[in-house]
A and B are shown apart, each in its own frame.
Chain A
Amino acid sequence: MAHEGHNALHDLLTVRGVTRRDFLKYCGSIAAALGMSETMAPQIAAALEGAPKLMPTLWLNGGSCTGCTESIAQVDSPDVATIVLDYLSTNYFETIMAAAGEQAEKQIEETIAEGGYIVIYEGSVMTGQDGNTLLVAGKKGTEILSEAARGAAAVIAVGSCAVDGGWVYGYPNPAEATGVQAWLNHEGITTPVVNLPTCPVNPEWIVAMVVQLLLVADRDVAAFVEKTEWVTRSYTDRKYGAVDLLMPKGIFGQSIHDNCPRRGHFENGEFVTEFGSKEEAMGYCLYKVGCKGPQTFTNCPVVRWNRRTSWCVEAGSPCIGCGGLNWVDNNSPFFHRLADMQMGDALGNVQPGSVGAVVGGVAAAALVAHGLGMKAAGRVGDGPPMEEMKKYDRKRLAKKGGDK
């Protein structure tokens, strides 16, 4: 590699004890996330190593649990993603930056003034009570987002909350949380938004987007949007109406189910019916205990989490569908096959299976009752006496007769 041995990223990795081999392996998984061949790993490594300070980045937090930050920052050993993202210069990172107070807030203003930056937004956009549900340094969260997004080259919405409001958006949503795209549509801001759902976001997907920006688009955001393969998912926000979301196809194009390492057990009809059972110990399919893998589109089984250590299903938990839209309402209860139907305050939440069984049972009972009625009416056997003429015709004739 041309850059090896004499560039900042390489030094940074070496200092933190990441070997060249680890780094290349990591680049291979980034290739997978981008839907490229793993043989692209050296090119990806070169692109990352060759990058000067990429683009100044503002990492803004909305209504969030900072889980996405945790997902990136809290590691017990040097994590390549952290180093790479760190290297790519984050000017403002609410939760983990060293700066505090006015000095920190100034960073935002300065970065915006300089221009040519990227916004990474974590958490939901809290619009409730005219935006007063989220105040940072005395300023409404919605205002901070609008100001930062207006001048940004692109916004990366990380985590489900930033994508469509996430679990904060779940019914009844008193904070009137929404997603970044929905908010920017509402504000008339046309900055492109890249959506990376799941709760929390997988840091490698952010790096994958950075690599895509470096490698494929040569730091040109317009080219990046044009050259990346996207899936467009649409949803209707309860407050802001129809929203179209751009998501990278390499990451969100296939269902978890189709890449799941337990898929063989699914096809064989080998299921976990109960937690703590023998079947669970044997690593059987978690479909019957509510796995939402068939309805969830992310490449979690391929890229995995925590530096490719494991992921939910591999660790023994059914997928709860956090990569979907409006995922809490659409997927709860998490340990049931189908989502509940929300029937309002009077009926509460009902399982579709219960509705089907009740409707079928009532219909069967009604038919039995009807059959008894038919028998009592003497219709069974030969049937009823037939009318000679339609009632409609009889009435019409009678009327005609009366007229005469």
Chain B
Amino acid sequence: MGSHAHYREAHPLVFVITHYINLICMIMLAFSGFYIHFPFFSAGFMGVARGMHFVAMYVILITLVFRIIAAFFVKTATQLGSREVDTDIKNWLPQAENKHQLFETVKYYLFFRKEGVISGKYGSLQKIAYLATIPLTFIQAYTGFAIYAPFMNAGIFASGIDMVGGPMNMRIIHYFGMWVFILFTMVHAYLANIYNFAPSKIIFLWKETLPEGKH
């Protein structure tokens, strides 16, 4: 889990770029979102914060759609530390290697087993988390549009507002949605880098790390 190689095949340049876009947009969204939630400084920033919030979300949505489509065309590594590639969507969705491993992965992280678990490109929990960000992003977009005046009276948003018991509740759901993303980011950054920083080198600098003994 820690000492395997990190090749560019794991994260082709196009996904390094989408990862950057997502990261930057998420930081902008969280920052501007916190400001809109409660303006913590007064410096003519609300208009900017709202503009930033909308633009960043549109960019994330476009990037997400692109990322999903690209998954059917771009080839990525099928295994950790491997240069063998296949269509990305196969590696993104659960692979044969992930079967029967979810409970073992949980046990591993709770220190109930010593050996690392076999996984495909990603571990079972990791894949669940990554895939969950897709509906979560859409939920955030939906709840966000529902509290945004130009859209809130449209049928699909108005009925959602009624369903959750009013725009205030929609706002609170949107607020907690952001916390889910913050938690995801915390756990994601932690687990990606707990063994060493090779994963960050490949995703941010696109710099390969060779396996032990092959410097």
Contact = CB atoms under 8 A, between A and B. Distances in A.
B187 A367 contact: yes
Interface stretch (A8-16, A176-184, A325-333): A325-333
Contacts of A267: 46-47, 50
A295 interface: yes
Nearest to A362: B183
A382 B153 contact: no
Interface in A267-303: 267-271, 287-288, 292, 294-295
Contacts of B171: 295, 338
A64 to B, nearest CB: 22
A363 B183 contact: yes
A374 B194 contact: yes
A136 interface: no
B2 A383 contact: yes
Nearest to B46: A269
A258 B195 contact: no
B93 to A, nearest CB: 18
Interface in A297-330: 321, 324-326, 330
A253 B158 CA distance: 11
A371 interface: yes
Interface string B27-50: 000000000011101111111011
Interface in B200-214: 212
A239 interface: no
B167 A266 contact: no
Main secondary structure of the interface of A (DSSP, over half): mixed
A387 B100 CA distance: 14
Interface in B1-55: 1-4, 37-39, 41-47, 49-50
Interface stretch (A54-62, A186-194, A229-237): A229-237
B165 A359 contact: no
A326 B3 contact: no
Contacts, number: 156
A351 to B, nearest CB: 10
B118 A268 contact: no
Contacts of A287: 39
Nearest to B37: A337
A179 to B, nearest CB: 14
Contacts of B115: 384-387
A172 to B, nearest CB: 17
A254 B49 CA distance: 22
Contacts of A385: 114-116
B165 A235 contact: yes
A391 B104 contact: yes
A379 B108 CA distance: 11
B195 A380 contact: yes
Interface of B: 1-4, 37-39, 41-47, 49-50, 99-101, 104, 108-109, 111, 114-118, 147, 149, 152-153, 158-159, 162-163, 165-169, 171-172, 175-176, 179, 182-183, 186-187, 190, 194-196, 212
Interface of A: 231, 233-236, 253-255, 257-258, 266-271, 287-288, 292, 294-295, 321, 324-326, 330-331, 337-339, 341, 352-353, 355-356, 359-360, 363-364, 367, 370-371, 373-374, 377, 379-387, 389-393
5 contacts: A269-B47, A337-B38, A360-B183, A367-B190, A384-B114
